[in-house]
Amino acid sequence: HYPEIKKRLRHEFDTVLGEDLTKPITYKDLDKLEYCDAVIKEVFRCSPIFIINGRINSQSDKVGGYDWPEGHNFRCFFPQ
Q: How far apart are CA 59 and CA 67, in angstroms?
A: 11
Domain identity same for 35 and 24: yes
Each residue's pLDDT, cut to its tens digit, for the chain (80 residues) gives 899 999 999 999 999 999 898 999 999 999 999 999 999 999 888 877 767 778 899 999 998 899 999 999 988 776 65
What is the domain count for the chain? 2
Domain identity same for 43 and 60: no
Q: What pLDDT is attached to residue 61?
A: 93
Residue 56 β-bridge partners: 73
Domain identity same for 36 and 58: no
Domain identity same for 11 and 33: yes
Residues of the domain holding 73 = 50-80
Domain identity same for 54 and 28: no
Question: Hey, which bits of 1-80 come out as E strands?
Answer: 52-56, 61-63, 66-68, 73-77
Q: How far apart are CA 48 and CA 75, in angstroms?
A: 15
Q: How far apart are CA 1 and CA 16, in angstroms?
A: 24
Domain identity same for 43 and 11: yes
Domain identity same for 15 and 36: yes
